[in-house]
């Protein structure tokens, strides 16, 4: 199975400041169709997960442009340019290149 | 409005069975792959299984293979998860999630809680 490792596991951030989360996979996430199926999801407290980004850097419908994704192969990053109060929650990376699909452990973003 | 509503969870003894359902509305269900994802209390997300639009392909995480069966009824806009030989470690909130394009779990239900305990 592909192991997804996120760092940090906790990220205290000042409102208006940037935040960055790293996700590393144990194998390349480049699919045989040449796409890289790495997505990022946000889970606010008490809520189901919400898709933020897919195929590394594509924002899903309705996602603010302060969220961005980058990376390739086995190393990926989610950046929040200016953290807002509504961004508090746990962020997960997920790979859908190889079955079984796997998630990172989650990174908790909280306000300092 | 897209809605996914899970039901069928509850308390069951180890070795027991449950059938979860996910009722979909607000989108063309038969055009979407569907997934089950679970979250143990206080833990992270674990993908469990998914099924192709027409039910012709199904995939599972190893830990549930041979015990869980995913199925769907497009006429009823419904997704199911038949769970047998349940174990304590299957205790979790089970959520269904829709997927129009590969790897994009775009809509999620609130989940139904499965508690396996003696």
B59, B97, B103 ranked by CB distance to A54: nearest: B103
Task: Please state the rounded mean pLDDT for residues B14-22.
Answer: 98
Are A94 and B47 inside 8 Å of each other by CB?
Answer: yes
- What's the pLDDT at B2? 96
- What's the pLDDT at B17? 98
Residue in A30, A21, A31, A24 with CA at minimum distance from that of residue A4: A24
Confidence tier at A18 by pLDDT (50, 70, 90) = very high
Tell whether the torsion through CA atoms of B19, B25, B30 and B35 is positive or negative.
negative
Residue in A97, A10, A110 with CA at minimum distance from that of residue A54: A97
Confidence tier at A13 by pLDDT (50, 70, 90) = very high
- What's the pLDDT at A37? 98
Region of residue A85 (left: phi > 0; alpha: psi -120 to 50; beta: else): alpha
B72: which 2 tokens? 């769907």
Contact status of B46 with chain A (Cβ, < 8 Å): yes
All residues at 6 or more sequence positions from B70 whose CB lies less than 8 Å from its CB, including other chains: B34, B36, B49, B50, B51, B58, B60, B79, B80, B81, B82
- What's the pLDDT at B110? 98
Distances (CA, A) of A60 to A2, A51, A82, B10: 24, 7, 18, 33
Confidence tier at A58 by pLDDT (50, 70, 90) = very high
Report the mean per-residue pLDDT for chain B: 97
Are A54 and B104 inside 8 Å of each other by CB?
Answer: yes
Task: Please state the rounded mean pLDDT for residues A2-25.
Answer: 97
All residues at 6 or more sequence positions from A31 whose CB lies less than 8 Å from its CB, including other chains: A37, A97
Q: How far apart are CA B16 and CA B84, in angstroms?
A: 6
Are A39 and B102 inside 8 Å of each other by CB?
Answer: no
Closest chain A CA to residue B63? A100
Confidence tier at A7 by pLDDT (50, 70, 90) = very high
């Amino acid at each position: 199975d592909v192991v997804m490792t996120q760092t940090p596991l906790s990220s205290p951030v000042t409102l208006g400041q940037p935040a960055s989360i790293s996700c590393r996979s144990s194998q390349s996430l480049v699919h045989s169709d040449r796409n890289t199926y790495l997505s990022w999801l946000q889970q606010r407290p008490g809520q189901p997960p919400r898709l933020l980004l897919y195929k590394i850097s594509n924002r899903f419908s309705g996602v603010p442009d302060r969220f961005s994704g980058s990376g390739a192969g086995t190393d990926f990053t989610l950046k929040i340019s200016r953290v807002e109060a509504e961004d508090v929650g746990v962020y997960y990376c997920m790979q859908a290149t190889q079955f079984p699909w796997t998630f990172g452990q989650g990174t908790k973003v909280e306000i300092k | 409005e897209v809605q996914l509503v899970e039901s069928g969870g509850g308390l069951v003894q180890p070795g027991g069975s449950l059938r979860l359902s996910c009722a979909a509305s607000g989108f063309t269900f038969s055009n979407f792959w569907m997934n089950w994802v679970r979250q143990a209390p206080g833990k992270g997300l674990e993908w469990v299984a998914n099924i192709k639009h027409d039910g012709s392909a199904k995939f599972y995480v190893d830990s549930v293979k041979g015990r869980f069966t995913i199925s769907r009824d497009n006429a009823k806009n419904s997704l199911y998860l038949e769970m047998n030989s349940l174990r304590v470690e299957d205790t979790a909130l089970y959520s269904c999630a829709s997927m129009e394009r590969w790897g994009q779990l775009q809509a999620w239900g609130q989940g139904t809680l499965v508690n396996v305990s003696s």
